[in-house]
Structure 1
Amino acid sequence: MTAAPDTARSVRAWRDGDPYTNALRAGRGPLYLRRGDGWLLPLDVERWCAAPDGADATVLARCRGPVLDVGCGPGRLVVALAARGRPALGIDVSPAAVDRTIRAGGTALCRSVFDPLPKEGRWATVLLMDGNIGIGGDPAALLYRAAQLVAPGGTLVVETAAQDVDERVEVRVDDGRGGRGPAFPWSRVGHRALRSYAEPTGWHPRTHWHYAERHFTQLTR
């Protein structure tokens, strides 16, 4: 069994990260994850707040049964699934993200993935989109938790980094204009690294694909 990562610090950081809240409320960036050495990872707030794009459509087409979107952000996928009559729930530690999802017509809860959740062990599809395999800074712990959430024979769709990377770092949400949130653990995982974490946590890679510059892997129990 893999121990849970330092989620409390991550939850506080996202919840209290004013640059993130402000960006979601405005529906636009700039917004970044800033590493301790100053390296910046751009966060695509405008895409998150828009309707699903072509890459998202490839994920939506693979969703079966009840869907749990972990780290749903402003809820574009939850809302799209609801519009198709699919049962879907988003969870996010940011009240601003949950509020935006609900106002757009989706269903969402302000929860960490490591909190008790509805229908544990009965979700047919679990989503970790937009780099959310990084939640908590411990991919193995997150994959183990996802295995507890999904139904037997269910699937997990993970959006990985485009690069062949496997790193665990401390980052801050940064608006590029002087506004920064508190530090929290995060990880970046490419397709190859995801495969190395998958089988020890009960997952088997099934399909890998990319659309434009975004990369996805579907895993099964």
Structure 2
Amino acid sequence: MSQQEDDLRALAKIMDFLRAVSIVLVVANLYWFTRVETVESGWFYSTVHKICANFNRTCGLFSTTFNAKLFALLLLGLSCFGTRGVRSENITWRHIGVTIATGSILFLLNWWTLDIGMRYTYIISTVAGYICLLMGGIWAGRMLKNNMMDDRFNDENESFMQETKLMDNQYSINLPTRFYYQKKWHKGWINVVNPFRATIVLGTPGSGKSYAVINSFIKQMIEKGYSGYIYDFKSV
């Protein structure tokens, strides 16, 4: 459970990073097309201009008002649908559709305000549209119930039916297991019915080889009358 919680936290950090990059692209778009300076620092704006100019020269990010916005929308969409929150009963698909439609109009269809010199109108409409799209995306992500969100790490498709029958004989070593399959936990067995053919246990240091396998092997071999030579090599 702790490993899955760590994976979920890591996924949340990735989604937050994508959303942050999306916001940076929107801010860069506003600066490039309006050149409104909010702080008194010439070197800061010269550095920002060089960075934006390099992006524009290599991939045409700011050749039109749409390019950076489309990239920002892509990252915003990934960040909204990559996480799932608690569904609110007050939110419906109608609310989501109206919010996204309003955000799309304000965010994408405001280029004409620059043509008539309304820079601050362009900034306000872009920010308002982005907020609407963000809200609509979060709500849509909460409403959607699909297998990808229910099984973020593909645990269900990576699981399979394992041996559940105990195959015991006078020589066998039998290790009890517990595995997840078809949304249920099952009890099973690892049956080494012929240990004379050799057995190897691989794993990283501290992964539990001795605790889960080796100790059980030794205990069962002693109970069944095996003779053995145990050598535990530790390098210094």
TM-score range, shorter chain: under 0.3
Q: Which has the greater radius of gyration?
A: 2
When the two structures are superposed, what TM-score results if normalisation uses the length of structure 2? Answer: 0.18
When the two structures are superposed, what TM-score results if normalisation uses the length of structure 1? Answer: 0.19
Per chain length, whose mean CA-contact separation is higher, i.e. which structure has more relative contact order (CA < 8 Å, sep 6+)?
1
Q: Which has the larger share of helix?
A: 2
Q: Which has the larger share of strand?
A: 1
